[in-house]
Amino acid sequence: MRGALVAAFGGPENIIIKDDLTAPEITAPNQVLIDVHTAGINPVDTYIRSGVYAKLPDLPYIPGRDGSGVVREVGSEVKHVKAGDRVWFLRDNGITAETTVATTVFPLPDALSFIEGACLGVPYLTAHRALFTRGNLKQSDRVLIHGASGGVGLAACQLARAFGATLVVGSAGTKEGEEAVARNGAHHTVCHRDAKYVEELKKIAPGGFDIIIEMLANANLATDLDLLARGGRVGIVGNQGEITINPRALMQKESSAYGVMLGGATADELASCSTMLSSLFTASSSFRPVCNRVYSLEEFPQSHRDIMDPAQAAVGNRVVEIRK
């Protein structure tokens, strides 16, 4: 079996493309054997490969936590998909190869391609968890996606707008990013590189935001707390360091901050998101998962460099095509 293998924790140079990996087989009744067409590439994949993630796999391991493909075989307890079905799926690792086994598997909406399907897992499930499971989004809420041009950010814009949130605002660091955020559901956009963007946000939402989804808390959390409405909440999706804040900012507005980790989701919560995505991505829908670049398997090590390169800030998702 052909695929990618991480031989040691460290840099992308530790990713090896191999032609002789052992093909997996079903070993439990709840498993699904899948021929992988496309695998997602997410920042969390680089944290795991670097050895800095909280939960690390045994070495060597096949990277990749989400993807799309076709079911080859199902275990005896699997009833919701069957051999031949197009699906999208998740697992802890092990997806960037020609075949994988997974238990978290959902039907791929007919309107989506395999490339679009590989953009669903980590980005949309994280956005759904941040907004609905942890954020308790209501239609009356005013929502700010702070850092909205990436995969999770665009997913959050689409989900919040489709749900009917009163106000959806997204920030981005480039004009291209702002345009993408606007196309994907935001009523207003701002450039967070503009020195006066916080003032602009306060004009857009004079009463503050009820929910802020934050992609870089170490840089922005103090600003988020200032932008919240009374009783508002900040969902922290991304963080790359420590920050000092004044707890009085929370006390004065009786606001709150909560963390978001996809690993905490239950099977019912994941299924709820899948149902929402099936309704969102119909043939007549104006929304689609946004893919910025498709890599070949040979280019996969470079994708790990690109996704964390600030000079290559991408709009949307990156994926690797395993089968064409």
Residues 139-174: tens digit of each pLDDT: 999 999 999 999 999 999 999 999 999 999 999 999
Give yes or no for a cis peptide into 109 (omega within 30° of 0). Answer: no
pLDDT at 240 over 90: no
Q: Which residues make up the CATH 3.40.50.720 domain(s) of the chain?
A: 124-263
The model's confidence at residue 224, banded by pLDDT at 50, 70 and 90, is: very high
Query: Six-digit token pair at 111?
Result: 């309107």
pLDDT at 295 over 80: yes
What local confidence, expressed as pLDDT, does residue 310 receive? 78
Burial class (CB in 10 A: 0-12, 13-18, 19+), 153: buried
Helices (H), the chain: 43-50, 114-117, 121-128, 151-163, 175-183, 197-204, 217-227, 248-253, 267-280, 300-307
Of 12-16, 120-124, 142-146, 241-245, the range with the lowest mean pLDDT is 241-245
Whether 148 contacts 174, CB under 8 Å:
no
What local confidence, expressed as pLDDT, does residue 148 receive? 97
Percent of the chain with pLDDT over 90: 94
Sign, Cα dihedral of 133, 138, 139, 144 = negative
CATH topology of domain 3-120+289-321: Quinone Oxidoreductase; Chain A, domain 1 (3.90.180)
Beta bridge mates, 190: 171
Find the mean pLDDT for residues 203-226: 97
Tell which CATH classification among 3.40.50.720, 3.40.1260.10, 1.10.150.20, 3.40.50.1360 matches the domain 124-263: 3.40.50.720
